[in-house]
Amino acid sequence: MKIIVTGGAGFIGSHTVVDLLENGYEPIVIDDFRNSKPFIIERIKKITNKDFVSYNFDCGDIKKLSSVFLKEKPDAIIHFAADKAVNESVSNPLKYYHNNISTLVNVLSVVNKSKVKSFVFSSSCTVYGVPKKVPVSEFSPIQQAFSPYGFTKQIGEQILSDFAKSNPGVSISLLRYFNPIGAHPSGLIGELPLGVPSNLVPFITQTAIGIRESLIVHGNDYDTTDGTCIRDYIHVLDLARAHVLAFSNYLKKNNKPLILNIGTGKGSSVLEVIESFKKVNKTNLNYTFGPRRDGDAPCVYANSSLAKKVLGWEHKFSLEDALSHAWEWEKQLSIL
């Protein structure tokens, strides 16, 4: 079975390509490396000892995408390619509307003319905004987005819901990720933030290795156990697995998307993540407290029971595993 993976050299895409190869699928990566590096493709081959096809172009380019679809005749597509920095989306919203919305529309117009039977979309728990109740289930209300990035995920879901109505032959899964962290246990692939990371764990690992002087913890006066924000951190390999299960288990004809939360169901505070990182990796970490950031919800974690029911998916890795794997990856990066 041939699966097009847009953004397959990125953080989540690369781990999904590993899972696909290890489970006998034939991934075809399309990535223009705007937020990743070509060496990741070689690393995936090294981890799996398997070869696969990859293309370097902007997947919003309909002409190039159509010719790849004609040549490869894919059965399914996992669409990761998007820009993802929340802060940047506030300062440069058009970049996000262009890449996260126009590109999606272009990809769908090619899918529309193909024999693709399954489409998996990277959505996000940001669609829930600041939830009134936790854990958050798929039936929790969608709240107004705080950033253009969050809004692009809401619009993306709407576009795919409309697309599903007129294309019942394509089964669509919208996976709402909570907070992906970690890396492959080999330390060969992981998150590669270009510039200052906006996510907690790469900021922690870059501080621990000495790239950054100190980690700023944004807010310690929230109404949570220790005053810092609580999030649901999910190992990227567990998340990758959910994609593979989504397109392989959900090949039913349907005129509406399958929407699933992908999280562990356990919330951890920023301070708990820091303490866990120090303990599991036997290292020190400088951090200071700074002001709250606009739009940060105090506490978000998932109810993922639907993913278990529909896909048989459950997370396997712990927070400690993820922090240890992320540290291995950071150490390998430093000697590149």
Ligand X SMILES: NC(=O)c1ccc[n+]([C@@H]2O[C@H](COP(=O)([O-])OP(=O)(O)OC[C@H]3O[C@@H](n4cnc5c(N)ncnc54)[C@H](O)[C@@H]3O)[C@@H](O)[C@H]2O)c1
Residue 60 or 187: which CB sits closer to ligand X? Answer: 60
Among 19, 21, 25, 36, binds ligand X (CB under 6 A): 36
Helix, strand, or coil (residue 85):
coil
From 8-16, 64-72, 208-216, 311-319, give the range in contact with ligand X by CB under 6 A.
8-16
Is residue 250 annotated as a catalytic residue, yes or no? Answer: no
Q: Taking the C-alpha atoms of 207, 210, 214 and 217 in order, what is their torsion angle to the nearest 10 degrees?
A: 0
DSSP character at residue 81: -
DSSP class per residue in 4-18 = EEETTTSHHHHHHHH
Among 96, 128, 146, 177, binds ligand X (CB under 6 A): 177
Among 54, 76, 84, 164, binds ligand X (CB under 6 A): 84
Q: Does residue 325 interact with ligand X by CB under 6 A?
A: no
From 11-19, 44-52, 62-70, 303-311, give the range in contact with ligand X by CB under 6 A.
11-19
Q: Does residue 11 interact with ligand X by CB under 6 A?
A: yes
Residue 7 or 298: which CB sits closer to ligand X? Answer: 7
Q: How far apart are CA 216 and CA 291, in angstroms?
A: 9
Among 58, 88, 314, 321, binds ligand X (CB under 6 A): 58
Q: Does residue 242 interact with ligand X by CB under 6 A?
A: no
- Kindly provide the residue ranges of all beta strands, DSSP E only, lying in the chain, ordered along the sequence: 2-6, 26-30, 53-55, 76-79, 118-124, 171-177, 179-181, 215-218, 230-231, 233-235, 258-262, 268-269, 287-290
Among 22, 23, 34, 214, binds ligand X (CB under 6 A): 34
Q: Does residue 189 interact with ligand X by CB under 6 A?
A: no
The answer to whether the beta carbons of residues 282 and 246 sit under 8 Å apart is no
Choose, from 96, 149, 222, 301, the residue flagged as catalytic. Answer: 149
Residue nearest to ligand X (CB): 10
User: What residues numbered 101-120 form the site for ligand X, per CB under 6 A?
Assistant: 103
Largest CA distance in the chain: 56
Among 26, 32, 72, 88, binds ligand X (CB under 6 A): 32
Those residues with Cβ within 8 angstroms of residue 61's Cβ, 6 or more apart along the chain or in another chain: 106
Q: How far apart are CA 48 and CA 163, in angstroms?
A: 35
Which of 42, 131, 78 lies closest to 250, judged by CA? 78
Given the DSSP bridges, would you call strands 230-231 and 76-79 parallel, antiparallel or unpaired? unpaired
Q: Does residue 180 interact with ligand X by CB under 6 A?
A: yes
Among 19, 31, 328, 330, binds ligand X (CB under 6 A): 31
- CB 167 to ligand X: min, Å: 21
Q: Does residue 99 interact with ligand X by CB under 6 A?
A: yes
Helix, strand, or coil (residue 121):
strand
Q: Which residues are catalytically annotated?
A: 149
Give the residues lining the site for ligand X (CB under 6 A): 6-7, 9-13, 30-36, 58-60, 80-82, 84, 99, 103, 122, 124, 177, 180, 199
